[in-house]
Amino acid sequence: MQRRHSLIPALMLAAGMLLSCMLAVQRSDWLVLAAPFALAFSVLAGDALDGRLRGLPPRPSPSAMILAASFLLASLIVALKDPGLLKGLMPLLGTLAAATLPWRGRRDHTCLEAHRP
């Protein structure tokens, strides 16, 4: 089976990362707190689009949902101490999300398919 790869999910994640970094440096508290949600949404949307382009159901994988939830939880923990600390956290979380892109295509294989001769 030939796989189709696309750059669009990665560009969607990059746009979400830029938006979250832009929101994190705002002076308004509610805009600063919107930054983690923008990043989490871009992770979920990029993963859903990646699945649709691969011919899978257009929904985020469980691993993308866990990743987005962990971003929100980590951001909430940091923001409770000082919302200004989100400025440095958003680029780090975006980099972590981008590092997961190469492994997203493996979600449609099971262990049994991987060991077939």
Separation between Cα atoms, residue 21 and residue 18, nearest integer Å: 5
Separation between Cα atoms, residue 12 and residue 56, nearest integer Å: 18
> Residues 105-117: what's their mean pLDDT?
49
CA atoms within 13 A on the CB side of 110: 3
Quickly state the pLDDT bin for 26 (edges 50, 70, 90). Answer: confident
CA distances for 63 relative to 74, 85, 96, angstroms: 16, 26, 13
Question: Per residue in 38-69, pLDDT tens?
Answer: 999 999 998 888 888 888 888 888 888 999 99
Question: Per residue in 61-85, pLDDT tens?
Answer: 888 899 999 999 999 999 888 888 8
Identify the pLDDT of residue 81.
87
Domain boundaries, the chain: 8-114
Q: Is pLDDT of 2 > 50?
A: no
